[in-house]
Amino acid sequence: MPRPPDALRRFSQGERWIHFSLATLFGICMLTAAMLYFATLSTLVGHRDLVARIHFITGLLLPLPLLLGAFVSQPFRDDVRRLNRFVPDDWNWLRSRDRRTGRIPVGKFNAGQKLNSAFVAGAVLILFGTGLMLHFFGFFTDTVRTGATFVHDMQAAAVAVVAAGHMWMAWMDPGARGGLRTGFVDRRWADAEHGAWAAEIAPAPEER
């Protein structure tokens, strides 16, 4: 499909790779976690030591896309800075009922996307850290080990819910999905969902 002339570049190739590899690693982690955790699945699949090893190695790799991205991709660093910053309108947007109408200006990322990215970043750090503690359990007392298991389980359950919501939102929004698949979004989608960002990077003809 030819790209419309007024398409806007939303994500660089590097960013799309970061997203794709993080999502893949995360998916494998979640899948193997389910095989280790749920009785019906774990008896169906078995091979506990193999599944645990895959889970551990995938978990070790999980922060890598973000770390590498931070080193090599300027667009990724810029977007992380944007995601980090909340302005008063972000809080208004979250509180408002008409947040999808564009009344409150939305930049490259809306407040929900900002919350999601912060939560996922925190979850990756926590799952990585507690996962290491569970793997190298010999260094910790059993109280700490049980505590780390508790946090690892709770965090995994929470991030699974959030990731399911994330995928649901993406499923409902082909424009956003296309942005991550191709790197480009069309002008109309950008005006509707991220009006302030669209105006910022490509002012409409009458504003020029």
Partner 1 sequence: MPDSPTVGSPVGRRIVLGMLGLAALGIAVGSKVNTALSTLAENDPTGLSGLVPGSGHFRIYSVAGKVPPTAPEAYGLRVDGLVRRPGVLSFADLQDLPQTQLQKDVQCVTGWRVNDVRWSGVLVRDVLHHFGLDGGARAVQFGSGDGVYTESLSLDQALRSDVLIATSMDGSEISDSHGGPVRLYVAPMYFYKSIKWLDSITVTDAAVPGFWEQRGYDVDAWVGQSNGRTDAPTA
Q: State the minimum distance, in angstroms, from the CB of residue 105 to partner 1.
A: 5
Q: Does 81 sit near partner 1 (CB under 8 A)?
A: yes
Q: Does 109 sit near partner 1 (CB under 8 A)?
A: yes
Q: State the minimum distance, in angstroms, from the CB of residue 1 to partner 1.
A: 29
Separation between Cα atoms, residue 8 and residue 206, nearest integer Å = 17
Query: Residue 155, CB half-sphere, CA atoms under 13 Å: how many?
Result: 20
DSSP letter, residue 193:
H
Q: Does 196 sit near partner 1 (CB under 8 A)?
A: yes
Q: How far is CA 24 from CA 21, 80, 85, 151, in A?
A: 5, 20, 27, 23
Q: Does 154 sit near partner 1 (CB under 8 A)?
A: yes
Q: State the minimum distance, in angstroms, from the CB of residue 62 to partner 1.
A: 15
Q: Does 23 sit near partner 1 (CB under 8 A)?
A: no
Q: State the minimum distance, in angstroms, from the CB of residue 122 to partner 1.
A: 3
Q: Does 75 sit near partner 1 (CB under 8 A)?
A: no
Buried b (16+ CB within 10 A) or exposed e, 102-117: eebebbbbbbbbbbbb
Q: Does 184 sit near partner 1 (CB under 8 A)?
A: no
Q: Does 115 sit near partner 1 (CB under 8 A)?
A: yes
By beta-carbon proximity to partner 1, the closer residue of 123 and 163 is: 123
Collect all residues with Cβ–Cβ distance below 8 Å to 91 and sequence separation of at least 6.
111
In this structure, are residues 41 and 34 in contact, taking their beta carbons and an 8 Å threshold? yes
Q: State the minimum distance, in angstroms, from the CB of residue 83 to partner 1.
A: 6
Name the nearest CA neighbour of 151 among 139, 143, 161: 143
Segment holding 104, helix H or strand E: none
Which residue ranges make up the site for partner 1 (CB under 8 A)? 37, 39-40, 42-49, 78, 81-87, 89-90, 105-109, 114-115, 117-119, 121-123, 125-126, 129-130, 133, 137-138, 141-151, 153-155, 157, 196-197, 200
